[in-house]
Amino acid sequence: METFNFLDKIIGESILSAVLSALLPLIFLIVYALIAILGELKISAWIQERLGPMRTGPYGILQPIAEVVKLLQKEDIVPTNANRLLFNLAPFVMFTGAFAGFAVIPFSPAFAPAHINLGLYYIFAVGAFAVIGIVMGGWASNNKYSLLGAMRSASQMISYEIPGALVVLTAAVLANSLDLQEISLAQSGPFWNWFLFGGPGPWTKIWVIPFTLLLSLIFMITSLAETNRTPFDIPEGESELVGGYHTEYSGMKFAMFFFAEYANMFIVASVLTIVFLGGWNSPFGEFMSGYFWGVFWFTSKAMFIVFLQIWLRWTLPRVRVDQLMFLGWKVLLPFALVCFIVLSLYRILY
Amino acid sequence: MTTRKFIDIDFSRIESDRMRLNVGPQHPSTHGVLRLEVELDGEVVTDVIPHIGYLHRCFEKIAENVTYPQVIPYVDRMDYVSSMNNELPYVMAVEKLMGIKVPDKVEYIRVIMSELNRIANHQIAIATFGLDAGAFTPFLYLFRDREYILWIFEKASGARLLFNYFWIGGLANDVYPTFKEDVLNIVKQVRKTNQEIERLLIYNKIFIDRTANVGILPADVAINYACSGPVLRGSGVQFDLRKNEPYSIYDRFDFEIPVGKGEVGTVGDSWDRNIVRMREIEQSCRIIEQAVEQMPNEGDVQQAIPKKVRPPKGEIYFRCENPKGELGFYIISDGKDKPYRVKARAPSFVNLSVLPEISRGYLFADLIVILGSIDIVLGEVDR
């Protein structure tokens, strides 16, 4: 299947198509965030034998909009001794990092907002923006809880980037490319061609399947840690740090942090989708595959990963900060390294 | 400063500035309006100073100015999640002072109500403990079950939280006709939820990692600090007033005293204190089943209520096993209708005093877990 940007085809390669290419993910992000917030409310309610929001619209489906309106009306409080500039800047830095990741995500063979050949590298580079935003916000709030949360977050995110990067590096080795469209293309065909099951190849590839399954599990865990989701939500662990780095934020600036968290969830879910679940490929080979179906498959796979993240959040307790470091450096990193070496050998030999 | 045993780094050798952190009184997990002044070295707790008194309501002074029956509502408000248990030692102390013998039916209803309230209290304790460790869902499961217990209380006494149900010499009113069936249904439901919580929370790997070997309270320290209740039993000391010093009709029932055994960590850690509560719920269920079976249907619950509560001159100390520990009332009577002095020995207050001792050298996140494992209610700490 050939990859291109459908906007370039329709209106030609111009400024207009570039602007539209940037706007489409933003619209997608807003719609996604509303759905994800509703999902979080409703899924948590089902897990906990509650009804969840029921008053706003039928079955409470308008609740996310109500929450956004509520946050817009809130007073924007800046603590007296806070560093005003950094305090106001932090949520937007964090959101910029999250949104910038959307630039390279291939939603369909016919659409990736910016098709660059270092997509995987780029996503990890802008993903690190989130740490800057959190540390900025935590430090500028002039609150001890925020500072502790920010420090924890910085150490956590940096530790988990390393096993996470090793995992995607393996995928790059398997696909022989860092281009996200190329990686997706390399997994075309039925679902046993996905890197989750060792990538395309003769049936003798069966011995690498445990390694790729392990790798995807490692990536799932690191992605939870990178997005500060339970069981790794210690930067904002509310039982000890009140709200962590966003303790002092209110109103729309708090909403930006929230928004960025949901955007980051989607980014890591889509990286997992592209790298292990075949991206926009249909699981049934030629059946239901195409430029439009690509969008469908990609979003449903990514949303399934988001659902897993929400499910885990409402099931598990929180780990402690030193246990988190132990898991990252002494468990995930060696396993990721072993898998990387084995799969690189497999790639060279076959 | 003690060093942590499960990490090889001796934190005390690393010199750095200490940070003073104010936890509470509006902090989400101080279980009320408790303020902790915490000294942190990085994230390691080097000292904890609890500041109490935000909920002080002069219980003891008020008790001197109201009549004996009028004290009962104030007793309710001490440990407001187990009010039935609070009323029991007070009314029994006054009854003993006056030499009243209450009918059997009253004793059985009192025991059933106390044990139900013990279950409700332990469910809150386990739920908030899970919440401190970051697990939100078990919290709601347990609160759902507690609600069923509160419905029984509401049907029997008219109130959900502060009952004023045990009166001196009897009860405010008899239980309703379907009381026994309701109680047995609750017991069934509680057992079912207990199994669910064990799978979901208690034996969860992350939960064990968070709570085992954290806040170890050796048996001798627990005794020296006069700890009682699950905090004492979690350290392996088999001491329960219901068994060791049977009051009311507890000698008629067959039950065990669960103690901490260090199943997943060391004896006396936070996990042990919590598992003692889990096992006590099961034992309470056993007591309730036996009590419902033996309870007489006939009898007037107000038959022994005196017209005038005017105990003779004298003094008495009477203690009962509250869900949180030993709750005792020391009452001095000078022969008038108002007590000369009422002193309450509150288990939460005594158990809280051990917090600085067992939380030094652990991480800040552990401090919250340890505080949750002690299970305090600030209404009782401050009185």
Question: Do the Cβ atoms of A91 and A61 come closer than 8 Å?
Answer: no
3-state secondary structure B80-147: CCCHHHHHHHHHHHHHHHHCCCCCHHHHHHHHHHHHHHHHHHHHHHHHHHHHHCCCCHHHHHHHHHHH
Give CA–CA dist B176/B159, Å, rounded. Answer: 14
Asked if residue A1 belongs to a domain, the reply is no
CA end-to-end span of chain B: 32
Whether B131 and chain A come into contact, CB under 8 Å, resolves to yes
Instruction: Check residue B11 and report its DSSP letter.
Output: G
Of A237, A314, A319, the CB nearest to B209: A319
Cβ pair B368:A240 closer than 8 A: yes
Give CA–CA dist B322/A125, Å, rounded. Answer: 58
Q: Which residues pair with B166 in a beta bridge?
A: B171
Residue A61 phi/psi, 5-degree rounding, is -70, -15
Cα–Cα distances (Å) from A159 to A164, B53, B262, in that order, read 9, 43, 33
pLDDT at B330 over 60: yes
The percent of residues above 70 in pLDDT, for chain A, comes to: 97
How many independent structural domains does chain A possess?
A: 1
Residues of B in contact with A319 (CB under 8 A): 206, 209-210
Alpha-carbon distance B369 to nearest alpha carbon in chain A (angstroms): 9
pLDDT band at residue A235 using 50, 70 and 90 as cut-offs: low
Of B28, B144, B204, the CB nearest to A317: B204
By C-alpha distance, the chain B residue nearest A144 is B21
Could you tell me how far CA B19 lies from the centroid of its own chain? 33
pTM: 0.83
Q: What is the pLDDT of residues B162-183, one digit of tens each?
A: 888 888 888 888 888 888 888 9
Domain holding A271, by residue range, is: 6-349
Alpha-carbon distance A161 to nearest alpha carbon in chain B (angstroms): 22
ipTM: 0.78
By C-alpha distance, the chain B residue nearest A237 is B134
Alpha-carbon distance A157 to nearest alpha carbon in chain B (angstroms): 18
Residues of A in contact with B144 (CB under 8 A): 49
Q: Which residues pair with B51 in a beta bridge?
A: B35
Q: Residue B227 in 3-state DSSP?
A: coil
Q: Of B151, B42, B137, B371, which is closest to residue A47 (Cα–Cα)? A: B137
Q: What is the pLDDT of residues B130-145, one digit of tens each?
A: 888 888 888 888 988 8
Whether A225 and chain B come into contact, CB under 8 Å, resolves to no
pLDDT band at residue A86 using 50, 70 and 90 as cut-offs: confident
Whether A316 and chain B come into contact, CB under 8 Å, resolves to yes
Q: Which long-range contacts (CB under 8 A, 24 or more apart) does A289-292 make?
A: A289/A1, A291/A6, A291/A108, A291/A109, A291/A110, A291/A111, A292/A108
Instruction: Check residue B252 and report its DSSP letter.
Output: G
Of A145, A152, A239, the CB nearest to B368: A239
Cβ pair A234:B43 closer than 8 A: no
Neighbours of B28 (CB within 10 A): 15
Whether B58 and chain A come into contact, CB under 8 Å, resolves to no
At B119 the pLDDT is 92
Residues of B in contact with A318 (CB under 8 A): 133-135, 206, 210
Helices (H), chain B: 59-63, 68-76, 83-98, 104-132, 137-157, 179-197, 205-211, 219-224, 230-234, 241-244, 270-294, 347-352, 355-359, 364-374, 378-382
The pLDDT of A203-215, averaged and rounded, is 82
Give CA–CA dist B88/B138, Å, rounded. Answer: 30
Whether A279 and chain B come into contact, CB under 8 Å, resolves to no
Residues of B in contact with A325 (CB under 8 A): none
Asked if residue A269 belongs to a domain, the reply is yes
Whether B135 and chain A come into contact, CB under 8 Å, resolves to yes
The percent of residues above 90 in pLDDT, for chain A, comes to: 0
Task: Given CATH 1.10.12.10, say whether it is the number of domain B59-382.
Answer: no
Ramachandran class of B111: left when φ > 0, alpha when ψ lies in -120 to 50, beta otherwise:
alpha
Task: State both tokens at A77.
Answer: 């409080």
Give CA–CA dist B113/B205, Å, rounded. Answer: 35
By C-alpha distance, the chain A residue nearest B365 is A240
Q: What is the pLDDT of residues B299-319, one digit of tens each?
A: 788 888 888 888 888 889 998
Whether A76 and chain B come into contact, CB under 8 Å, resolves to no
Cβ pair B206:A231 closer than 8 A: yes
Q: What is the pLDDT of residues A15-71, one digit of tens each?
A: 888 888 888 888 888 888 888 889 888 888 888 888 888 888 888 888 888 888 888
Give CA–CA dist B314/A20, Å, rounded. Answer: 89
Select from A318, A323, A324 the residue whose CB has the most chain B CBs within 10 Å, as the one to mutate to test that interface: A318
Whether A318 and chain B come into contact, CB under 8 Å, resolves to yes
Could you tell me which residues come within 8 angstroms of residue B83 by beta carbon, excluding any fewer than 6 positions away? B75, B76, B77, B117, B161, B162, B163
Neighbours of B308 (CB within 10 A): 7
Residues of B in contact with A314 (CB under 8 A): 136-137
Mean pLDDT of chain A: 83
Cβ pair A47:B206 closer than 8 A: no
At B1 the pLDDT is 42
